[in-house]
Structure 1
Amino acid sequence: MPRLEDLDEESRQFLGNFQCRSEGDPPWTALSKPLSESKVAVITTSGLIRRSDKPFDLANPAGDPSYRAIPIDTDPAELTFSHVSTNWDRTGFAMDVNVVMPVDRLRELAKERVIGAVAENFYTFMGAIFQFDKLIDDSAPSVGHLLKAAQVDIAILVPT
């Protein structure tokens, strides 16, 4: 992640003026069951896809608000990025997929019974999405429904 002062002027202004939503109560309050019994999923903004997946739409200047579901048992060699940014350093991912998708760490936690289970899929979005309405009204609720259907108790957000 770059420092704010290292970004171009437009990016600095965008981030400096970004208003987070603050209305309403958060959609969570506390765990409904012990962590050791909870199913955990990961959502990342890395733009990670399987080589066989449709790439994110990089030609859209407003970004692509869609998402990809990736089975948790996908071979890391099958994963690639569908996201281009001068601010995105891929070195960490090249060394260890867990930097953007902590699959091995979650499996270790499940084996140690710290968490109950790892969800069958993880979900990826492309970073740099400026179509907030489509993301908030369509894509995010869709992933929420998928998580609920899979009986996921906790979603870890991995921004990149």
Structure 2
Amino acid sequence: MNMIDFKTYFELLNLYSDYAMVCDSADWERWPEFFVEEGSYRLQPRENHEQGLPLCLLALESQAMIRDRVYGVKETMYHDPYYQRHIVGTPRVIRIEQTADGERIESEANYAVIRTKIDAESIVLSAGFYRDVIVRRPEGLKLLSRLCVYDSEMIANSIIYPI
């Protein structure tokens, strides 16, 4: 059993809720700050994940690539604007360990993202789970990797904003 102290678990809860708030408020400049410099963000269908296949819909392999995505979202991509609302389950700690670089936490949480266009009803954009590797840095917990595994092969052809 992986034991985690209350303070660390509270920080973990805040990481998940702050991430959702930043995405829901379209505060895109803050999104890369959740990741370490070598951090990665991937969006992968469940079928590929379960079969161990590497193909992802989106694979950003560094904080620099994540910043580039922010630039694309804000400056170069043309799309109908929409709101997002993340509903994130309570994170489950899979493993916690001390490494030479500090604390490392592997966790996962279910999520659902609701998309609302101004002139349309709300729909479920994506549902699945996050599989995260989180490390402690002097400024707090940061994502070393976030894998978003979405359940349905049928997804919107325009996932613009982070899940």
Q: TM-score, normalised by structure 2?
A: 0.31
Over alpha carbons, which structure has the higher Rg? Answer: 1
Flag the structure with higher helix content.
Answer: 1
Flag the structure with higher strand content.
Answer: 2
Task: Say which structure, 1 or 2, has more relative contact order (CA 8 Å, 6+ apart).
Answer: 1
